[in-house]
Amino acid sequence: MIRHILNLGLRLFLVCLVAAAGLGLTYGLVKDRIAEQERRRRARAAETVLASLEATPQENEELTAQLQAEFPDLLSVFEGFDASGARVGYAFVLKSKGYNFITMAVGVSAEGKVTGIKAVSNEETPGLGAVAVENKQFLQQYQGKGPQRLTLEVDVDAYTGATYTSKGINNGVNMALDIWEKMGERT
Amino acid sequence: MEDKERTLWGEFKKGFITTNPLLVLMVGLCSSLAISTRVENCIFMGLAVIFVLTCSNVIISLIRNFIPDQVRIPIYIVVIASFVTIVDLTLKTMPAVYERLGVWIPLIVVNCIILARAEGYASSAKVSHAFMDGLGIGLGYTTVVLIMGVFRELFGTGKIVFSDTTVIDLHIKAVPVILIMFPGAFITYAMLSALLQWYQSRKKPEAGEGS
């Protein structure tokens, strides 16, 4: 009896082992290209949230690494330069917990005002949270707010039917404002 | 178990008509109704299904004597899920496609077509037969979703767009938008299914099919 169970387990294990090896191999082959796509998506989102400042984003990896020590959910920092080369704002790409994780870019001007929000990717519920994340009217409310932290239902209205997602977006924006403040202290 | 009278060609072509997964076996409908709003989606989904189905059929047929009966379902799922993950990872390098199909790719794991072929066919068939069966059923699926996709996109939006270029434009303003919505999927599917039934009833009923 015990040998029978061991036999079943061993065979199942072997199949899983081979499958895992195959997946590992595939992942190794494509991971650089996936990372490259992810980087491009972030850059595009950064461009969108800085559009109102007419600024071009440029990723600053050194700054990202420094800030990540304090803000582990921060993924990358883009600096926005205008036509004359002056730094007019930042775009922070960060991860915030809604119902699931939302990866979003938040643009913050040099004065600490939100210049735009754009979801890079989200795992929210289709039809509910996922709609809120893309809803222009909902995100538009944040435009020009800050640099003080924002409270849901006081400074901005939550999206009906997507309370967790609204909280997630709001926390993400507050995180961006915190980061902005932190950077102000440093420079 | 292994029927000598089965020919490779027969195993291949049965997927189109006699055991068409969508219209006759009526499995895997969920994803096909959802993705057939655009021809482009149909092509990529079809390719993904063909790949996963053929690979999992071959692997399961290869190890069919190694798989103990009691744990066969977990093993099928592991094999299928691995191939789906491979497709998923590969498509992630093509963001334009992934954005539209992303939700549906992981769902291939639980797509009944693949598990049904593994359990009902590949687990008791020769490797070459399982391979042809995978190809045939996969192509049968692709053909049907393509027909649905062409019909729904052409008449639901008035044009067919492939990788951001308009291939066919009917130049009609008032299109029946319902076709690209979910009711349209059911209507299209029902019409196709009826058409196939009608076609088959005109021929002499053939002796029972493979699975």
B93 vs B72: CA distance, rounded Å: 33
Region B86-94: what's the mean pLDDT?
Answer: 86
B82 in reach of chain A (CB within 8 A): yes
A102 vs A162: CA distance, rounded Å: 13
Which tokens hold the place of A23?
A: 């997946």
Residue A115's pLDDT is 93
A64 vs B129: CA distance, rounded Å: 55
B96 in reach of chain A (CB within 8 A): no
A3 in reach of chain B (CB within 8 A): no
B112 in reach of chain A (CB within 8 A): no
B43 vs B114: CA distance, rounded Å: 18
pLDDT in tens, chain A (187 residues): 888 899 999 999 999 999 999 999 999 999 999 889 888 889 999 999 998 888 889 888 888 998 998 999 999 999 999 888 888 999 999 999 988 899 999 999 988 999 999 988 887 876 678 888 888 899 999 998 878 899 988 889 998 888 999 999 999 999 999 999 988 766 5
Residue B211's pLDDT is 42
Helices marked H in A61-162 — which ranges? 61-68, 129-134, 136-140
Query: Per the CB < 8 Å rule, is B93 touching A33?
Result: yes
- The residue ranges of every structural domain in chain A are 46-186
Contact residues, A window 93-132, toward B, CB-based 8 Å cutoff: 126
Give B81 to chain A, closest Cα distance, Å: 9
Query: Per the CB < 8 Å rule, is B82 touching A23?
Result: yes
Backbone angles phi, psi at A99, to 5 degrees: -80, -40
Residue A186's pLDDT is 63
Which tokens hold the place of B54?
A: 């053929």
Question: Which amino acid, B151?
Answer: F
B74 vs B158: CA distance, rounded Å: 45
**Residue A31's closest chain B neighbor by CA?**
B89
B37 vs B189: CA distance, rounded Å: 12
Residues making up chain A, counted from first to last: 187
Residues B36 and B148: beta-carbon distance below 8 Å: yes
Question: pLDDT per residue over B174-188, tens digit each?
Answer: 778 788 888 888 999
Q: Are strands A114-122 and B159-162 parallel, antiparallel or unpaired?
A: unpaired
**Residue A24's closest chain B neighbor by CA?**
B86
Residue with tokens 């109704």: B33
pLDDT at B135 over 50: yes
